[in-house]
Amino acid sequence: MFLRFTLIAAFAVFAGLCEGSLTKYQRFDALLQNYDKRLRPGGNEPLNLTFSSYMLQVDELNVEKKEVKLMFYFRQYWTDERLDVNEETVLRSPEDLWTPDMFIVNEVKEPAVDTEHFVRISPGGQVLWSQRLTKKIKAGCMKKFEKTGEKNFKIEMESYGYRTDDIVLQASDSEQFLFNADTQHLDTGCLTIESFEHSVSVSEVPSGTYNRLTLNLKLKKKHM
């Protein structure tokens, strides 16, 4: 009996030493051994998904095609209790993790381009996923822009498969919706970003009720 307890104690000490010698990424890999990224965090309760954004620039404004091409950061925050790391861990790809399936409803489909990712996981399983996106958006009627030089654009985003009883969208209290106010030099003239705001609504379709996030962008033509 004494020998048995001695062996158990020795094994515990050895395991502790091994744990202490692991890097944070090796410990993170160990967390992923039994991790199933197909399962949404939060169990049976709706997951609080917080978001923020930063509008970088207007790459293109096509009056004839009624399209605008934008570059912006889109950040999403949530808690995944399975990823309770000991210290902050940064990843360059979220491919091994569960991630929200938000998509842009009014996007003009183009050949896929590489998206830059940044993932930061903090103790307690708090996840930040930041993406730098370049998207072409359907702009709607452009008569007002041609007449007044001003135009409001909407970027409308929804989840592919998660309904309101799965995910609850909410704006970040600490991260505002910011924009680069510098003049944008385009073929249509010099533009300035006047404002960048957001709203959350509920969209009902035959398959269920979904959150809809709308990013509202106001552009103004600068008269030289």
Tens digits of pLDDT across the chain (224 residues): 444 434 433 443 344 445 568 899 999 999 999 999 999 999 999 999 999 999 998 988 888 999 999 999 999 999 999 999 999 999 999 999 999 999 999 999 888 777 899 999 999 999 999 999 999 999 888 888 888 888 899 999 999 999 999 999 988 766 667 788 777 888 777 888 888 888 899 888 888 889 999 999 999 887 65
Helix (H, G, I), strand (E, B), or coil: what is residue 142? Answer: coil
Helix (H, G, I), strand (E, B), or coil: what is residue 146? Answer: helix
Residue for token digits 């996981």?
121
Whole-number pLDDT of residue 163: 93
> Domains, the chain, ranges and CATH?
35-222 (2.70.170.10)
* Contact predicate 154/216, CB 8 Å: yes
Whole-number pLDDT of residue 12: 38
Whole-number pLDDT of residue 144: 82
| DSSP tag of 64 | T
Sign, CA torsion 108/112/113/114: positive
